Amino acid sequence: MSRISVRGFAVASATAVTTVGAVVGVAAGGQQQQGSSDPIEATAADSTLLADIPAGQQAVAQTASLTQQADVQSTAADAEARKSAEESARKQAAKDAKAKKAAADKAAAEKLAKEREAKKEKKEEVASRSASRDASSFPQQASYTISEVQAMARQIVPSGQFQCFSNIVDHESTWNYKASNPSSGAYGLVQALPAGKMASAGADWQTNPATQIKWGLNYMNERYGSPCDAWSFWQANGHY
C-alpha cells in the first residue's frame, strides 16, 4: 500500500490509532526543533512518517471501515426487505378479503336462487296436488282390471310422483283394490289401517279404486310430504 495520511485512519483500531499518534508525536517534535511554521511541509513530513506504519495495522483500519460500510448496507437492505414484505402482505390481505367477499356474495346469490326455485317447485307441487284432489269422480263399475286401476292412478297422482306411488302400491297390494290383510285388517290398494279411514275420501272406499287412490295420495302428502318421500321411508323401514 502507498503512503497514507492520519486523516485516512478515522475508523482505525486502537492499535492503529496508538501507532499513528506516536508517529504524529515524533513528527511534531521534529517540527518544533526545526522551528518550521510551514503547514505544507508539516503535512508532507506526516505523510512520509505514516508511510512507515506496519501494513498489518493499515489492514486493520481498512477492514474496520469496510465492516462498518457493510453493516450500514445490510441494515438498509433489511429495512427495504421488511418494507417490501409488509407491502406485499398488505396487498395480499386486500386481495384475499376481496376474493372472500366475492365468494360470500356468490354463495348468498346461489342460496337465494335455490330458495326461490324450491319455493317455485313447492308452489307447483301444491297446485298439482290440489288439481288431483279436485279431479272428477270416475264412473263406477262392478269391477276393475289392474290396467284400469293404474290408468285412474295416472290421472289422479301427479306425473312426477306416480312411479313412487306405484312402487308402494306394488308392494302393498299388487294393485288389487280389494286386497285385505286378515291379521291386521289393512285394506285396499294402499293397505289403509284401519281400513275405515278411507271413508274420509268417499263412502265407496271398499269398491271404488279412485276413492282409495285419492285417500292414499292425501295420506302420503300429509304424512311424508309426497309419494316419493313416502317411498323413501318405505325403502328404509319396509313399511310406511
pTM (global) more than 0.75? no
Nearest residue to 210 via CA among 132, 124, 152 = 152
* Nine-digit cell string for 140: 263406477
- Which pLDDT band, with edges at 50, 70 and 90, does 63 fall under? confident
List pLDDT tens digits, range 197-210: 999 999 999 999 99
Calpha distance 145→175 (Å, rounded): 9
Mean of pLDDT values over 216-239: 95
List pLDDT tens digits, range 178-203: 999 999 999 999 999 999 999 999 99
Q: What are the residues facing 180 on neighbouring strands?
A: 187
Residue in the block written with cell 290440489: 130
The dihedral region occupied by 54, where left means phi > 0, alpha psi between -120 and 50, and beta the remainder, is beta
Calpha distance 30→214 (Å, rounded): 133
Q: Three-state SS for 187? A: strand
- Measuring CA to CA, how many Å separate 4 from each of 48, 54, 149? 8, 12, 121
List pLDDT tens digits, range 19-60: 444 434 444 444 444 444 555 454 444 444 445 556 666 667
Q: What is the pLDDT of residue 8?
A: 45
> Cis bond leading into 194, ω under 30°?
yes
Select the more confidently predicted residue: 101 or 172: 172
